[in-house]
Structure 1
Amino acid sequence: MRNSPGTGPARAAIELRIQTKFSAAPGPPFPALGSLSLCPPGPCPWPAPGPAHGPLRGCPVPVPVRGRPAVVSPPPGSGWKAQEALQQRYKLGPLLGRGGFGSVFAATRLLDGAPVAIKCVPRDRVRLWGELPDGTRAPLEIVLLDRVSSGCAAVIQLLEWLELPDSFVLVLERPERCQDLSHLLAERRFLPEEEARGLFRQLLEAVQHCTSCGVLHRDIKPENILLDLATEQLKLIDFGCGAFLQDTAYTQFAGTLSYSPPEWIHQQCYHGQAATIWSLGLLLYQLVIGKHPFMRGQQMIWGRILFPRRLSQECQDIIKRCLSMQPLDRPSLEDLFRDPWMQGVHLP
């Protein structure tokens, strides 16, 4: 088997659509990675040998995500050998959670002791497919991650992926001490402007990187943003709702409905960049206020945005612009980088 790329310590991240929480002890809680509805779990990628598990069907072959990926057909009867080889490659840890697109496990890469996350996606859960640069057909999430997972520290890195007969396995970088922003806000209620500004600047850089790679995330929200508690490095995760960026309108929704822009609610269509700015405005409001500006229980109530007196006028202005009801009135990413409130940001 070929060694996986990125042999340095993994810097951050893991993704999964769940609404549960796994706490590691000692230290801060492991991030709960959120999004849509739950579903039955996918298969465990590497069950421990023994009478409790049947043999692993087929032979999973590691496919480096960078360079020239290739899926090798396994020889008959090689399942146990492949399982043993993978157990020599990674030490599988606890189940972190299950979601609409599979299961995620903590793991350790034995080559260098780097913590990783193992995401197992059942093949029958894959709805969208794409093509890697060498022509290999793969789930769209893998194709999008292949485009964005290098060149920006604020985006999750896909280390490698494997194909099993009935599922796909994604190996992602994972920090040992991190927390998603939803849990951070639950503990602290809201963040000071200075701290929120630094995180927002990192998120803008992540979105700009994705845009330059032709990728639209479509599910920006606190649950899908990790913060390394040691370095204050932010990571945008979970590209399971992502799509290729296009100039024309999207007519199918993917993501979290409470973060959808008003044009989707009223017209059942939206443009990618304008919808992204809307979700960025919602996220910034949550960082500095601690709650969604338009949620009243389970209902979305459009109306005037309320701000506390402690918030600067510059911060209020940038949020109001992002949350303009008319898409054409929202700023571009470049406008946000140039906004007066964004100047003088200290990055980790």
Structure 2
Amino acid sequence: MAERVCAWLLGAIASPWLRLARPRPPPRPRPRPRPRLLPGPAGDTGGAAAPAASAASSPLRAPPLLSAAAGPEPPVSASKEPTCGDGRPGAVERRSGAVPGPGPSADGRVSPARKAQQGLKERYRLGSLLGRGGFGSVLAATRLSDGAPVAIKRVPRNRIHHWGRLPDGTRAPLEIVLLHKVSAGFPGIVQLHEWLELPNNVVMVLERPERSQDLLHFIRARGFLCEEVARHLFRQVLEAVRHCTSCGVLHRDIKPENILLDLATGQAKLIDFGCGTYLQAAAYTSFAGTPSYRPPEWIQFGWYYGKAATVWSLGIVLHQMVCGEHPFRRGWNSTWGRLSLPRRLSPECQDLIRRCLSVLSSERPSLEDLSCDPWMQDIHVP
């Protein structure tokens, strides 16, 4: 049965008749007033390093993932499990001061906030709800200037507790600052097109592939992924994570719901940096993310190191890919060290999952070691 599922998935990936995503022309200049556009990477003074993973390690074009047999994809939905926490280490600022309300100003003119909101509606046609959670909501939308699909994320201002500064000095929510550091020109991170402040919300306009699905729904629609498909996707996720850490950014909420797949090109994109923070060498003493992805050291000792906790999350994601379920969803504390894996998995795949999910963080592989692992290289050790 596993062989038939694997063959079906590979056949879906190789379908030659699938239409690849066409490149979109750049948007035409927007009328004033307009929301803030992110400054280009040339103005970045944050000292971001070059990507750790070489572009040569990825294929020039990923294979398409959509199959007619799979049917229409379900909408991307936020996890029912609460995410994030309080207290993110790093130099952040709290926003203070009042924001102009939506009504007319004292001299009878429309306020800047109202103009910005009207400008947003004039440039985008809103569509269906993609997800809702503690962070706010995400709507599908279409850019009217060129028909490009986008996602509009709306976050209540009273839920944004951490702010930073963009390279041009603009104060912005930390999520936007982190996205600016990692997303420019890197295909494995969702691109932020623009953002603006409204009286009660911060709005982000994000890239949205025309045919897309989050990894959780992609797995659920198929039960589990064969190792070839899982390797192809996991390699991209690892490359995106290494790129983030090389830029000094820690995502802290890596899970299938936060990995978006472009079904036409096969590109995996890391999304939702709402729990993210700056990478630091010292241990973190506050948790942000999804509770079921917390590493054992946090539960036992109340601290964790960023990269080791990331490898733990990646191990859970890989298990979900090839097994179709979270390894510790049921009584996960009691199953540490007694992980049961299907016999159909190759010894190399089993070994990689077990090492990523080592109870001792010092026994987990580094992000660099993961890239060189035999299973990642499709090498079978006798």
TM-score relative to the length of structure 2: 0.72
Q: Residue 239 of structure 1: SS of its match in structure 2?
A: coil
Match of 1:31 among 69, 76, 93: 76
Q: Shift in Å at residue 197 of structure 1?
A: 0.4
Q: Which position in structure 2 is the counterpart of 1:45? A: none
Residues 35 and 139 of structure 1, relative CA distance in 2, 3 Å threshold: farther
Question: Which whole-Å deviations, capped at 9, do the CAs of 1:28-72 have from their partners, x for residues lacking one?
Answer: 22222336449xxxxxxxxxxxxxxxxx8169xxxxxxxxxxxxx
Q: Distance in 2 between matches of 1:320 and 1:298?
A: 15
Match of 2:301 among 241, 245, 267: 267
Q: Which position in structure 2 is the counterpart of 1:306? A: 340
Q: Which position in structure 1 is the counterpart of 2:110? A: 77
Q: Distance in 1 between matches of 2:334 and 2:277?
A: 25
- 1:159 aligned onto 2:193: yes
Q: Shift in Å at residue 299 of structure 1?
A: 6.3
Q: Which position in structure 1 is the counterpart of 2:238? A: 204
Residues 118 and 313 of structure 1, relative CA distance in 2, 3 Å threshold: same
Match of 1:220 among 245, 254, 257: 254
Q: Which position in structure 2 is the counterpart of 1:141? A: 175
Q: Shift in Å at residue 139 of structure 1?
A: 1.0
Match of 2:280 among 207, 223, 246: 246
Residues 80 and 292 of structure 1, relative CA distance in 2, 3 Å threshold: closer
The 5 Å alignment of 1:159-178 reads 159-178=193-212
Q: Distance in 2 between matches of 1:316 and 1:198?
A: 17
Question: Which whole-Å deviations, capped at 9, do the CAs of 1:244-303 have from their partners, x for residues lacking one?
Answer: 000001000100111010000100100000000011111111111111222216866323
Question: Which whole-Å deviations, capped at 9, do the CAs of 1:155-191 have from their partners, x for residues lacking one?
Answer: 1111111111222110001123211111122221110
The answer on whether the counterparts of 2:117 and 2:198 sit within 8 Å (CA) in structure 1 is no
The answer on whether the counterparts of 1:95 and 1:104 sit within 8 Å (CA) in structure 2 is yes
The answer on whether the counterparts of 1:294 and 1:303 sit within 8 Å (CA) in structure 2 is no
Q: Distance in 1 between matches of 2:287 and 2:38?
A: 34
Q: Distance in 2 between matches of 1:272 and 1:127?
A: 21
| Structure number with higher strand proportion | 1
Q: Which position in structure 1 is the counterpart of 2:10? A: none
Which one-letter code corresponds to 1:218 in the other structure? R
* Greater displacement, 191-200 / 165-174: 165-174
Query: Identity across aligned pairs (percent)?
Result: 64
Q: Residue 231 of structure 1: SS of its match in structure 2?
A: coil
Q: Shift in Å at residue 204 of structure 1?
A: 0.6
Q: Shift in Å at residue 344 of structure 1?
A: 5.2
TM-score relative to the length of structure 1: 0.79
Q: Distance in 2 between matches of 1:249 and 1:5?
A: 31
Q: Shift in Å at residue 80 of structure 1?
A: 5.5
The answer on whether the counterparts of 2:195 and 2:204 sit within 8 Å (CA) in structure 1 is yes
Q: Shift in Å at residue 93 of structure 1?
A: 1.8
Q: Which position in structure 1 is the counterpart of 2:184? A: 150
Residues 263 and 299 of structure 1, relative CA distance in 2, 3 Å threshold: closer
The 5 Å alignment of 1:13-28 reads 27-28=72-73
Q: Distance in 1 between matches of 2:103 and 2:331?
A: 48
The answer on whether the counterparts of 1:29 and 1:178 sit within 8 Å (CA) in structure 2 is no
Q: Residue 342 of structure 1: SS of its match in structure 2?
A: coil
Greater relative CO (CA pairs within 8 A, separation 6+): 2
The answer on whether the counterparts of 2:251 and 2:273 sit within 8 Å (CA) in structure 1 is yes
The answer on whether the counterparts of 1:33 and 1:180 sit within 8 Å (CA) in structure 2 is no
Residues 250 and 76 of structure 1, relative CA distance in 2, 3 Å threshold: farther
Residues 142 and 81 of structure 1, relative CA distance in 2, 3 Å threshold: closer
Across the aligned residues of Structure 1 and Structure 2, the Cα RMSD in angstroms comes to 2.5
- 1:91 aligned onto 2:91: no
Match of 1:183 among 201, 214, 217: 217
Q: Residue 314 of structure 1: SS of its match in structure 2?
A: helix
Residues 81 and 335 of structure 1, relative CA distance in 2, 3 Å threshold: closer
Q: Distance in 1 between matches of 2:305 and 2:341?
A: 28
Which one-letter code corresponds to 2:290 in the other structure? T
Q: Which position in structure 2 is the counterpart of 1:289? A: 323
Residues 310 and 131 of structure 1, relative CA distance in 2, 3 Å threshold: same
Which one-letter code corresponds to 1:296 in the other structure? R
- 1:57 aligned onto 2:57: no
Q: Distance in 2 between matches of 1:263 and 1:133?
A: 35
Gaps of 5+ in 1: 7-25, 39-55, 60-73
The answer on whether the counterparts of 2:76 and 2:131 sit within 8 Å (CA) in structure 1 is no
Match of 1:280 among 308, 314, 324: 314
